[in-house]
Structure 1
């Protein structure tokens, strides 16, 4: 039974990445090492972010249950480094916008999956007692994949030199939502004291809405070019 639960968690977490890689056409372009390079860039950016946070944002020492709004907002702002990293990855890859976006997003999301969820899933999901949090973690990894594809698309649109004026405001709002989504979710959870499954559902709905908005802007921008 333990292996069965571990297999389910593994399939839920990793198969969507494999399917996305195959179905997006990246395998036809032999983009595996490009994705690996994007993952390496992710690791470098996260290291820089951790050093920056450790230097300029010490641990919150307020009372229990008190939410450090300003501090958490400033920490979320550091995620702007992810935008720079994604832009760097896409600028180093030649090809169509769709190809650049998927290479950057797949490398970024896969590196995040390996670094933040691989070990907990490997150790925890193989335990004697099954815990639903590992299923939640697997679903969350799929949400993260959609999030990074959306973020990469937003960065690609935002950095286009020929971006029409009518697109500048909605694309800027989209980029801001991608950066501060985690902060908004954390604030929402703190205010409404949501349960873990509800948090996952809200996160999925919010990510889906942002992804659809990004897709709408991307399609219209490509067709208007």
Structure 2
């Protein structure tokens, strides 16, 4: 039972990345090199964030909400945006379109995120003697939800840095959506750890709906910017 539980959670965590790569044109254009490079950039970005958190944040004495600390965490979260900028604009890529580039970068970014944040907890939690829904919920949260959010952020990043002929009316919306996606972990932590105090199923439901909404908005913005200007 332990082995099957671990395998199920591992497939739930890392399976969607393989399915997305195989089911989209990414596999036809052999963009695995771009995804690997993006994953390495994510690991470097995560190291920078870890150093910033250890340097500028103090260990809380209690569970009370500290606006200064939470604001600092949100600002440090924008390090991900800098890492995405480097991955989208500074890395050498194959001769692929903008559509495939942001998907390949987002896929590598999301896979590295799942490995870094889920692999060790999955190994410890899913190897327990009894089945628990919490491990499956954590695998679902880190994979499907944050996979969608990372792809959406990569799509918006490609519009900001790679798309030059954007409609001017959409530029503020693109930046606003990118800011929301970059601070989504802080928003979730503020609402549920210090605010509403929801349990894990409600938290996952909220994040799932939020990720789908942001993905829809990002898709609409990307489609609007792809249309030729009149």
TM-score (ref. length: structure 1): 0.93
The Cα of 1:131 is off from its aligned counterpart by: 1.6
Counterpart mapping for 1:37-186 below 5 A: 37-61=37-61, 64-91=62-89, 92=91, 93=93, 94-140=95-141, 141-159=143-161, 160-186=163-189
The number of equivalent residue pairs is 223
Mapped partners of 1:161, 1:26: distance in 2: 24
1:123 CA drift (Å): 2.7
Alpha-carbon distance between aligned partners in 2 of 1:126 and 1:57, rounded to the nearest angstrom: 33
Structure 1 residue 128, shift from structure 2 partner = 0.6
1:77–1:179 Cα contact (<8 Å) kept: no
* Cα drift, residue 84 of structure 1: 1.6
Unaligned runs of 5+ in 2: none
Root mean square deviation, CA, Å: 1.4
Among residues 202, 205, 208, which one is paired with 2:209 in the alignment? 205
Consecutive unaligned residues of structure 1, counting only runs of 5 or more, are none
State TM-score, norm by structure 2.
0.91
Give 4+ residue runs of structure 1 displaced > 4 Å after superposition. Answer: none
Structure-1 separation of matches of 2:55 and 2:139: 32
